[in-house]
Amino acid sequence: MSSLHKSRIADFQDVLKEPSIVLEKLRELSFSGIPCEGGLRCLCWKILLNYLPLERASWTSILAKQRGLYSQFLREMIIQPGIAKANMGVSREDVTFEDHPLNPNPESRWNTYFKDNEVLLQIDKDVRRLCPDISFFQRATEYPCLLILDPQNEFETLRKRVEQTTLKSQTVARNRSGVTNMSSPHKNSTPPALNEYEVLPNGCEAHWEVVERILFIYAKLNPGIAYVQGMNEIVGPLYYTFATDPNSEWKEHAEADTFFCFTNLMAEIRDNFIKSLDDSQCGITYKMEKVYSTLKDKDVELYLKLQEQNIKPQFFAFRWLTLLLSQEFLLPDVIRIWDSLFADDNRFDFLLLVCCAMLILIREQLLEGDFTVNMRLLQDYPITDVCQILQKAKELQDSK
């Protein structure tokens, strides 16, 4: 470890040990990248995403409260109607004359259960292929959810619920703006067959199952948006970062902490996933056009070239912006980009500058290429040095 890196770690520790953390200092440090040593990134992200307050003294009570609340969500939303503790002789009170599996009443708990299955099937399909370039999400978590997997209970896991449903996949495919593929060709998006996954013993669960639970609970709590394909790519890096925290006490609660950080992040970007808002000032269309207007201001020659070839920002910037570049780079690079995004006071204005920087850094290839070549460049971005991209975006920001 270099002396410079040790110095940066010390700088973070000095800021984070203060009774009241100075947010401006933390943002300034985090913008240039957060060290992963000592769980620094995990802690900084929780502060930058407004999960933890700036007052250190309140952390313990807030974490206990939020983690308890998440356990309550698990009890209320994962355990299906019709399941009872058979070994304790609990009666099937959920199956009554008024409420039964064939009850067409929209208020019926059974009707809600079957509708939830439609959302769950889409989530399941997406989380099983999460980050296929690494094996992390297929491996067993050290901290399975004992509330769900307790052998004393007969609670149904989401995985079993998916296995038992007979709904057809075409009834649940809910894609944004008719986009049929939100995955980058840069990544292998082909999921292995179900029988190719490692079979985990009873009492164990894979990391992707934890992510599935987070997304399902989010969908239940936010019925207006529920689940839209691509949300899995937002929650994945968050969960990976928290689930690899060297602090075992914090790692044990990675699921709950991820849920609340994901919820806070989605509160800022959820408009990108709502089609009815596309053409509003907070919608994704406006943001894509902002990328091009910024490019026009910074490099009019390149802007005119793309216009001449009728290369619309929808062809590439939709995925860049909606998924926070999580499909354009490998996971460690995505996490480094997110350090800067989360640290910037106007984080998603900075994202627009990052997208603009990505275009300018390949300007020579784009100016020389035809439509086919340029579309390939933009949909399979060639530069892997994210620090170079972030530096260029900072230059654009400073030149305003």
Give φ, ψ of 55 to 5 degrees. -85, 110
Report residue 181: phi and psi, to 5°: -150, 110
Contacts of 190 (CB under 8 A, 6+ apart): 129, 132
In a domain, 299, yes or no: yes
Amino acid at 112: T
pLDDT at 200: 79
Count of domains forming the chain: 2
Domain of 117 in residue numbering reads as: 59-92+103-163+201-270
Residue 79 sits in the same domain as residue 213 = yes
Token pair recorded at residue 183: 């995955």
DSSP 130: S
- Quick one: 122 and 143 in the same domain? yes
Residues 86, 223 within the same domain = yes
Residue 266 and residue 280 share a domain: no
Q: Is residue 216 part of a domain?
A: yes
Residue 366 lies in a domain: yes
CB burial of 182-221 (b: ≥16 within 10 Å; e: otherwise) equals bbbebbeeeeeeeeeeeebeeeebbbbbbbbbbbbbbbbe
Evaluate whether residue 385 is within a structural domain: yes
| Cβ–Cβ < 8 Å for 279, 287 | no
Is the domain of 297 the same as that of 353? yes
In contact, 219 and 227? CB cutoff 8 Å:
yes
Both 233 and 140 in a single domain? yes
From the first residue on, what is the mean pLDDT of each consecutive set of 10 residues in the chain (400 residues)?
90 96 97 94 97 97 97 83 37 47 55 79 92 91 87 74 60 43 49 54 89 96 91 97 93 97 93 72 85 96 97 94 95 96 89 96 97 96 95 91
In 40-80, DSSP assigns E strands to none
Answer yes or no: do 281 and 329 share one domain: yes
Amino acid 80: pLDDT? 53
Region class of 178: left (phi > 0), else alpha (psi between -120 and 50), else beta? left
Of the residues 214, 238, 270, which one is the last residue of a structural domain?
Answer: 270
- In angstroms, the Cα distances linking 269 to 183, 214, 254, 266 are 19, 17, 22, 5
pLDDT score of 79: 63
Q: Single out the residue in 218, 249, 270 at which a domain terminates.
A: 270
DSSP string, 345-377: TTHHHHHHHHHHHHHHHTHHHHHH--HHHHHHH
Full-model pTM: 0.86
Residue 191 lies in a domain: no
